[in-house]
Protein backbone atom coordinates (compact mmCIF):
# COMPACT_ATOMS: atom_id res chain seq x y z
CA UNK A 1 0.00 0.00 0.00
CA UNK A 2 1.31 3.42 -0.92
CA UNK A 3 2.47 5.44 2.06
CA UNK A 4 -0.08 8.18 2.84
CA UNK A 5 2.59 10.84 3.24
CA UNK A 6 4.12 9.94 -0.12
CA UNK A 7 0.68 10.06 -1.72
CA UNK A 8 0.08 13.53 -0.31
CA UNK A 9 3.42 14.72 -1.67
CA UNK A 10 2.59 13.39 -5.13
CA UNK A 11 -0.84 15.05 -5.12
CA UNK A 12 0.63 18.34 -3.90
CA UNK A 13 3.32 18.29 -6.60
CA UNK A 14 0.73 17.63 -9.30
CA UNK A 15 -1.47 20.48 -8.04
CA UNK A 16 1.47 22.86 -7.94
CA UNK A 17 2.53 21.91 -11.46
CA UNK A 18 -0.97 22.35 -12.84
CA UNK A 19 -1.38 25.63 -10.96
CA UNK A 20 1.70 27.27 -12.42
CA UNK A 21 0.88 25.96 -15.91
CA UNK A 22 -2.54 27.57 -15.60
CA UNK A 23 -0.95 30.80 -14.39
CA UNK A 24 1.43 30.91 -17.36
CA UNK A 25 -1.39 30.29 -19.83
CA UNK A 26 -3.62 32.97 -18.34
CA UNK A 27 -0.77 35.49 -18.23
CA UNK A 28 -0.04 34.87 -21.90
CA UNK A 29 -3.72 35.37 -22.71
CA UNK A 30 -3.74 38.67 -20.83
CA UNK A 31 -0.67 39.96 -22.68
CA UNK A 32 -2.17 38.96 -26.03
CA UNK A 33 -5.51 40.65 -25.35
CA UNK A 34 -3.89 43.81 -23.99
CA UNK A 35 -1.51 44.06 -26.96
CA UNK A 36 -4.38 43.66 -29.41
CA UNK A 37 -6.36 46.36 -27.63
CA UNK A 38 -3.38 48.74 -27.76
CA UNK A 39 -3.17 48.38 -31.54
CA UNK A 40 -6.82 49.39 -32.00
CA UNK A 41 -6.84 52.77 -30.27
CA UNK A 42 -6.71 55.88 -32.50
CA UNK A 43 -4.30 57.93 -30.39
CA UNK A 44 -0.78 58.06 -28.97
CA UNK A 45 1.34 60.32 -26.79
CA UNK A 46 3.74 62.55 -28.69
CA UNK A 47 5.51 63.22 -25.39
CA UNK A 48 5.20 62.98 -21.63
CA UNK A 49 7.46 65.23 -19.57
CA UNK A 50 7.43 64.97 -15.79
CA UNK A 51 8.96 67.52 -13.40
CA UNK A 52 9.42 66.59 -9.72
CA UNK A 53 10.24 69.45 -7.35
CA UNK A 54 11.27 68.06 -3.94
CA UNK A 55 10.44 70.33 -0.99
CA UNK A 56 12.40 70.70 2.25
CA UNK A 57 9.56 69.04 4.19
CA UNK A 58 9.74 65.95 1.95
CA UNK A 59 6.69 66.73 -0.19
CA UNK A 60 7.06 66.41 -3.95
CA UNK A 61 5.38 68.84 -6.34
CA UNK A 62 4.78 66.87 -9.53
CA UNK A 63 3.96 68.42 -12.91
CA UNK A 64 3.06 66.07 -15.76
CA UNK A 65 2.88 67.55 -19.27
CA UNK A 66 1.20 65.07 -21.60
CA UNK A 67 0.65 65.67 -25.32
CA UNK A 68 -2.01 63.44 -26.86
CA UNK A 69 -2.35 63.01 -30.62
CA UNK A 70 -5.73 61.73 -31.85
CA UNK A 71 -5.84 60.28 -35.36
CA UNK A 72 -9.55 59.42 -35.49
CA UNK A 73 -12.76 59.69 -33.48
CA UNK A 74 -12.40 58.73 -29.82
CA UNK A 75 -13.99 59.61 -26.50
CA UNK A 76 -13.28 63.07 -25.08
CA UNK A 77 -12.86 62.06 -21.45
CA UNK A 78 -9.36 61.63 -20.02
CA UNK A 79 -8.26 59.86 -16.87
CA UNK A 80 -5.19 59.69 -14.67
CA UNK A 81 -4.82 57.02 -11.96
CA UNK A 82 -2.18 57.33 -9.23
CA UNK A 83 -1.68 54.40 -6.82
CA UNK A 84 -1.83 55.33 -3.14
CA UNK A 85 0.04 52.36 -1.69
CA UNK A 86 3.39 54.19 -1.47
CA UNK A 87 2.28 57.69 -0.55
CA UNK A 88 0.51 59.18 2.45
CA UNK A 89 -1.64 61.52 0.35
CA UNK A 90 -2.07 63.21 -3.03
CA UNK A 91 -3.23 66.81 -2.71
CA UNK A 92 -3.72 70.07 -4.65
CA UNK A 93 -4.68 68.40 -7.95
CA UNK A 94 -5.20 70.63 -11.00
CA UNK A 95 -5.52 70.02 -14.74
CA UNK A 96 -4.88 72.74 -17.31
CA UNK A 97 -4.66 73.25 -21.06
CA UNK A 98 -3.25 76.34 -22.79
CA UNK A 99 -2.43 77.83 -19.37
CA UNK A 100 -6.08 77.64 -18.33
CA UNK A 101 -7.33 75.49 -15.46
CA UNK A 102 -10.06 73.17 -16.73
CA UNK A 103 -12.73 71.44 -14.62
CA UNK A 104 -11.68 68.08 -13.20
CA UNK A 105 -12.93 65.65 -10.60
CA UNK A 106 -11.07 63.28 -8.28
CA UNK A 107 -11.93 60.23 -6.21
CA UNK A 108 -10.52 57.05 -4.68
CA UNK A 109 -11.03 53.57 -6.12
CA UNK A 110 -9.08 50.33 -5.56
CA UNK A 111 -6.46 52.21 -3.51
CA UNK A 112 -5.86 54.65 -6.37
CA UNK A 113 -6.58 58.32 -6.77
CA UNK A 114 -8.32 58.97 -10.08
CA UNK A 115 -8.43 62.31 -11.87
CA UNK A 116 -10.99 62.84 -14.63
CA UNK A 117 -11.59 65.67 -17.08
CA UNK A 118 -13.22 66.35 -20.46
CA UNK A 119 -12.21 68.36 -23.51
CA UNK A 120 -13.24 69.15 -27.06
CA UNK A 121 -12.07 66.69 -29.70
CA UNK A 122 -12.15 67.18 -33.48
CA UNK A 123 -9.72 64.64 -34.94
CA UNK A 124 -7.17 64.65 -36.32
CA UNK A 125 -6.24 66.72 -33.32
CA UNK A 126 -3.73 67.11 -30.50
CA UNK A 127 -4.10 68.29 -26.91
CA UNK A 128 -1.47 69.06 -24.29
CA UNK A 129 -2.64 68.69 -20.70
CA UNK A 130 -0.69 69.73 -17.61
CA UNK A 131 -1.52 67.74 -14.48
CA UNK A 132 -0.18 69.05 -11.18
CA UNK A 133 -0.36 67.52 -7.71
CA UNK A 134 1.43 67.40 -4.36
CA UNK A 135 2.73 64.05 -3.10
CA UNK A 136 2.83 63.79 0.70
CA UNK A 137 4.92 60.98 2.18
CA UNK A 138 6.39 59.94 -1.16
CA UNK A 139 10.06 59.88 -0.17
CA UNK A 140 11.41 56.51 0.98
CA UNK A 141 13.85 55.85 3.81
CA UNK A 142 16.43 53.14 3.18
CA UNK A 143 18.88 52.71 6.06
CA UNK A 144 20.71 55.99 6.48
CA UNK A 145 19.56 57.36 3.13
CA UNK A 146 16.43 59.01 1.79
CA UNK A 147 15.29 58.30 -1.77
CA UNK A 148 13.24 59.96 -4.44
CA UNK A 149 11.90 56.72 -5.89
CA UNK A 150 9.11 57.41 -8.36
CA UNK A 151 7.49 55.77 -11.38
CA UNK A 152 7.19 59.01 -13.31
CA UNK A 153 5.84 57.59 -16.59
CA UNK A 154 3.39 54.79 -15.90
CA UNK A 155 3.18 51.38 -17.52
CA UNK A 156 -0.18 49.85 -18.43
CA UNK A 157 -0.83 52.42 -21.13
CA UNK A 158 -2.72 51.38 -24.25
CA UNK A 159 -0.55 53.36 -26.67
CA UNK A 160 3.14 54.29 -26.87
CA UNK A 161 4.88 57.50 -25.84
CA UNK A 162 7.15 58.83 -28.59
CA UNK A 163 9.44 60.80 -26.26
CA UNK A 164 9.67 60.99 -22.48
CA UNK A 165 11.67 62.98 -19.97
CA UNK A 166 11.79 63.21 -16.17
CA UNK A 167 13.42 66.14 -14.36
CA UNK A 168 14.02 66.09 -10.60
CA UNK A 169 14.93 69.27 -8.73
CA UNK A 170 16.16 69.02 -5.14
CA UNK A 171 16.23 71.68 -2.38
CA UNK A 172 19.30 73.90 -1.96
CA UNK A 173 20.30 71.96 1.15
CA UNK A 174 20.98 68.91 -1.04
CA UNK A 175 23.18 70.74 -3.53
CA UNK A 176 26.18 68.50 -4.18
CA UNK A 177 25.00 65.93 -1.60
CA UNK A 178 23.45 63.31 -3.89
CA UNK A 179 24.93 59.84 -3.45
CA UNK A 180 23.50 58.20 -6.56
CA UNK A 181 20.95 58.65 -9.32
CA UNK A 182 19.63 56.05 -11.75
CA UNK A 183 16.56 54.88 -13.61
CA UNK A 184 14.68 51.62 -14.21
CA UNK A 185 12.28 50.30 -16.82
CA UNK A 186 12.42 51.94 -20.23
CA UNK A 187 15.89 52.73 -21.56
CA UNK A 188 16.90 56.28 -20.66
CA UNK A 189 19.97 58.48 -20.36
CA UNK A 190 20.46 59.94 -16.86
CA UNK A 191 22.50 63.09 -16.37
CA UNK A 192 23.23 65.67 -13.71
CA UNK A 193 22.20 69.11 -14.98
CA UNK A 194 23.66 70.97 -12.00
CA UNK A 195 24.36 70.29 -8.32
CA UNK A 196 20.68 69.80 -7.48
CA UNK A 197 18.93 68.99 -10.78
CA UNK A 198 18.82 65.61 -12.51
CA UNK A 199 17.36 64.63 -15.86
CA UNK A 200 16.34 61.27 -17.32
CA UNK A 201 15.58 61.22 -21.06
CA UNK A 202 14.10 58.13 -22.71
CA UNK A 203 16.41 56.93 -25.47
CA UNK A 204 13.56 55.54 -27.58
CA UNK A 205 9.77 55.36 -27.66
CA UNK A 206 8.24 54.02 -24.44
CA UNK A 207 5.99 51.07 -25.26
CA UNK A 208 2.61 50.54 -23.53
CA UNK A 209 3.94 47.89 -21.13
CA UNK A 210 7.00 49.95 -20.16
CA UNK A 211 7.47 52.50 -17.40
CA UNK A 212 10.18 55.01 -16.60
CA UNK A 213 11.12 55.01 -12.93
CA UNK A 214 13.75 57.24 -11.34
CA UNK A 215 15.72 56.88 -8.11
CA UNK A 216 17.89 59.49 -6.40
CA UNK A 217 19.52 58.85 -3.01
CA UNK A 218 20.94 61.32 -0.48
CA UNK A 219 21.84 61.21 3.24
CA UNK A 220 18.76 61.09 5.46
CA UNK A 221 20.22 63.46 8.04
CA UNK A 222 20.24 66.49 5.72
CA UNK A 223 16.48 66.99 5.33
CA UNK A 224 15.70 64.73 8.30
CA UNK A 225 12.30 63.83 6.86
CA UNK A 226 10.51 61.30 9.11
CA UNK A 227 9.53 57.92 7.75
CA UNK A 228 6.19 58.05 5.95
CA UNK A 229 3.12 56.42 7.44
CA UNK A 230 2.76 53.86 4.64
CA UNK A 231 6.37 52.74 5.03
CA UNK A 232 6.01 52.37 8.80
CA UNK A 233 2.89 50.26 8.34
CA UNK A 234 4.57 48.19 5.65
CA UNK A 235 7.54 47.38 7.85
CA UNK A 236 5.24 46.25 10.66
CA UNK A 237 3.25 43.87 8.46
CA UNK A 238 6.10 42.53 6.31
CA UNK A 239 7.10 39.66 8.59
CA UNK A 240 3.51 38.43 8.84
CA UNK A 241 2.84 38.56 5.11
CA UNK A 242 6.06 36.70 4.30
CA UNK A 243 4.87 33.67 6.28
CA UNK A 244 1.64 33.27 4.35
CA UNK A 245 1.36 31.42 1.09
CA UNK A 246 0.07 28.38 -0.80
CA UNK A 247 0.32 27.79 -4.57
CA UNK A 248 -3.43 27.54 -5.16
CA UNK A 249 -4.11 30.82 -3.36
CA UNK A 250 -1.48 32.50 -5.55
CA UNK A 251 -3.03 31.05 -8.70
CA UNK A 252 -6.57 32.02 -7.72
CA UNK A 253 -5.40 35.58 -7.12
CA UNK A 254 -3.85 35.73 -10.57
CA UNK A 255 -6.87 34.08 -12.14
CA UNK A 256 -9.11 36.79 -10.71
CA UNK A 257 -6.67 39.51 -11.76
CA UNK A 258 -6.45 38.19 -15.33
CA UNK A 259 -10.21 37.87 -15.70
CA UNK A 260 -10.74 41.36 -14.27
CA UNK A 261 -8.11 42.85 -16.58
CA UNK A 262 -9.55 41.17 -19.67
CA UNK A 263 -13.08 42.29 -18.89
CA UNK A 264 -11.79 45.77 -18.02
CA UNK A 265 -10.01 46.00 -21.36
CA UNK A 266 -13.17 44.99 -23.18
CA UNK A 267 -15.14 47.68 -21.37
CA UNK A 268 -12.59 50.45 -21.72
CA UNK A 269 -11.91 49.81 -25.39
CA UNK A 270 -15.50 50.57 -26.34
CA UNK A 271 -15.53 54.09 -27.78
CA UNK A 272 -19.22 54.58 -27.04
CA UNK A 273 -18.69 53.90 -23.33
CA UNK A 274 -15.87 56.40 -22.86
CA UNK A 275 -12.79 54.19 -22.80
CA UNK A 276 -9.61 54.73 -20.86
CA UNK A 277 -6.17 55.42 -22.31
CA UNK A 278 -4.58 53.35 -19.54
CA UNK A 279 -5.37 50.10 -17.78
CA UNK A 280 -6.89 51.59 -14.63
CA UNK A 281 -5.60 48.83 -12.39
CA UNK A 282 -2.01 49.47 -13.39
CA UNK A 283 0.69 49.63 -10.85
CA UNK A 284 3.46 51.69 -9.99
CA UNK A 285 6.18 55.11 -10.14
CA UNK A 286 4.19 57.93 -9.06
CA UNK A 287 2.92 54.90 -7.01
CA UNK A 288 1.94 51.48 -8.00
CA UNK A 289 3.17 48.09 -9.07
CA UNK A 290 6.32 47.05 -10.81
CA UNK A 291 9.47 48.79 -9.73
CA UNK A 292 13.16 48.73 -10.15
CA UNK A 293 15.78 47.32 -7.90
CA UNK A 294 17.24 49.08 -4.93
CA UNK A 295 16.02 49.87 -1.48
CA UNK A 296 12.42 50.21 -0.50
CA UNK A 297 11.16 47.45 -2.78
CA UNK A 298 10.02 49.72 -5.61
CA UNK A 299 9.03 53.27 -6.23
CA UNK A 300 5.74 55.01 -5.76
CA UNK A 301 3.76 56.65 -8.51
CA UNK A 302 2.86 55.11 -11.83
CA UNK A 303 -0.73 53.99 -12.21
CA UNK A 304 -2.47 54.97 -15.41
CA UNK A 305 -5.14 57.08 -17.00
CA UNK A 306 -6.90 57.69 -20.25
Whether residue 264 is contained in a domain is answered as: no
Whether residue 32 is contained in a domain is answered as: no
Whether residue 245 is contained in a domain is answered as: no
Q: CATH code at 64?
A: 2.60.40
Whether residue 203 is contained in a domain is answered as: yes
Residue 98 has pLDDT above 80, yes or no: yes
CA atoms within 13 A on the CB side of 280: 22
The residue among 241 and 200 whose pLDDT is bigger is 200
- Pairing type for strands 77-83 and 112-118 reads antiparallel
H or E element that contains 216: strand 212-219
Query: Over the stretch 27-47, which tens digit does the pLDDT of each residue have?
Result: 555 545 444 444 569 999 999
Number of independent structural domains in the chain: 1
Q: Is 95 within 8 Å of 88 (Cβ atoms)? A: no
Whether residue 258 is contained in a domain is answered as: no
Whether residue 3 is contained in a domain is answered as: no
CA atoms within 13 A on the CB side of 102: 18
Where in the sequence is the domain holding 152, given as residue range(s)? 38-234+273-305
Q: Is 205 within 8 Å of 38 (Cβ atoms)? A: no
Residue 276: predicted pLDDT: 62
Residues 6+ apart with CB under 8 A from 176: 195, 196
Tell me, what DSSP letter sits at residue 61?
E
Amino acid sequence: MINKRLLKQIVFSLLASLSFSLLASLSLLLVTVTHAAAQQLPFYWDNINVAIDVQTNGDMLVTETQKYVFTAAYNNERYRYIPLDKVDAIQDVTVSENNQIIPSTTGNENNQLWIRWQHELKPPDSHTFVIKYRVVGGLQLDGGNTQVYWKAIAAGRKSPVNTGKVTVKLPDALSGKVLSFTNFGAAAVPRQVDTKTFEFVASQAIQPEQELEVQIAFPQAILNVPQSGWQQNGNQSQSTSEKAGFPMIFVMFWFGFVMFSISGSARSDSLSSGGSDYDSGGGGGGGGGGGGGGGGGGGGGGGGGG
